Amino acid sequence: MPRATSPSMSQARAAFAGGAGYLAACTVGLPSRATVAAVSADLESAAAGRPDIAAYSAAVERSRTLFASLVGIAVARVAIGSQVSASAALVAAGLPDGAEVVVPDGEFSSIVLPFVHAGRRIRVRTAPLHALAEAVDANTSLVAFSAVQSATGEVADADAIAAAAAEHGAMTLCDATQAVGWLPVEASRFDAVICHAYKWLCAPRGVSFLTVSDRLAAVMPPRLAGWYAGDDPWASCYGGDSRLARDARRFDVSPAWQAFVGAAPALELFASLDPATLYAHTTGLAAAFGSRMGMPQPERASAIVTWSDPGGDDLARLTDAGIVASGRAGRARIAFHVFNDESDVERAIAALGR
């Protein structure tokens, strides 16, 4: 059942000034009115000579807490970051020499390259996404995959992947950047979950999160540690003998302050929405579009729809009709989010002449 205080989809849509004809949340989310107001007020205050450092730190910690609630994990297990690849590199640093990492074919490079270039004889093996669970064996140290594939919108069988990893004692890294914000994600099922919040969570770019299991935290070195990774950040500004935080905060990087000022209200909005209602709304619009296009329904529902468009002709048709979409890996790609409704389906279908 929806939460008693959850806004309806129409109310949530009203939180955004734009959105009509914008089908590219999988590329970058739109800032809500509250995010625009928060960032604008901060910039005005800073320009007037009154930057509020305490408010910056409060926005960071509020964002951390809200993300923890969104993915169902204790806040002590959440580290903040700014980039997916940097967090993935931390995970790579925790692997033993000669470790094998299994990833899907065509996986987003920020999840693959940190392991490819990790050195220490760490090797990367690929498999088709649909067969990723079967590819895990006794030699596998880590399975790294996106919950939702960027290029195709395909939703991974996370249950099967997690079960296969558990059977063979392998750790798991799930990139939830294309998921959190429309697809429910339970972070405690994985050793690491990485999420950049600038897509489906509609935060400014520069806000990412990393959740860490106990067994990963025990072997992952805090190689990006700076002053904000200290047990008391404001007492960790100088020298090399500062005590690091005892929880996941020791993996923090110094936060991009203004980005977190904008992220906090964005995360507030998504934390207020009923997850099942949001999932039904986004995937329902995508399914309606796919049906009108004569596409087979995917095995697992997605808010992202892609189709072959090697010459970019369909993407051009959408663009000419004033629709913001994207193209990836020879495919046209559209996404339906909280700020979209049935009129966006009709507009896209008309633009494509279907």
User: What pLDDT score was predicted for residue 7?
Assistant: 86
User: What pLDDT score was predicted for residue 2?
Assistant: 45
Count how many Cα atoms sit within 13 Å of the Cα of residue 177 in the half-sphere of its side chain.
30
- In whole angstroms, give the CA distance from residue 121 to residue 160: 28
User: What pLDDT score was predicted for residue 5?
Assistant: 64
Write the pLDDT tens digit of every residue in 162-197. 999 999 999 999 999 999 999 999 999 999 999 999
Judged by phi (left if over 0) then psi (alpha if -120 to 50, else beta), residue 253 lies in beta
User: What pLDDT score was predicted for residue 354?
Assistant: 75
279-285 long-range contacts, Cβ below 8 Å, gap at least 24?
Answer: 279/182, 279/183, 279/184, 281/9, 281/338, 282/182, 282/336, 282/337, 282/338, 282/340, 283/182, 283/336, 285/336, 285/340, 285/341, 285/342, 285/344, 285/345
Between strands 100-104 and 123-127, the pairing is parallel
pLDDT tens, N- to C-terminus, the chain (354 residues): 445 567 899 999 999 999 999 999 999 999 999 999 999 999 999 999 999 999 999 999 999 999 999 999 999 999 999 999 999 999 999 999 999 999 999 999 999 999 999 999 999 999 999 999 999 999 999 999 999 999 999 999 999 999 999 999 999 999 999 999 999 999 999 999 999 999 999 999 999 999 999 999 999 999 999 999 999 998 889 998 889 999 999 999 999 999 999 999 999 999 999 999 999 999 999 999 999 999 999 999 999 999 999 999 999 999 999 999 999 999 999 999 999 999 999 999 999 997
- Rounded to two decimals, the pTM is 0.95
Residue 34 CB neighbour total at 10 angstroms: 16
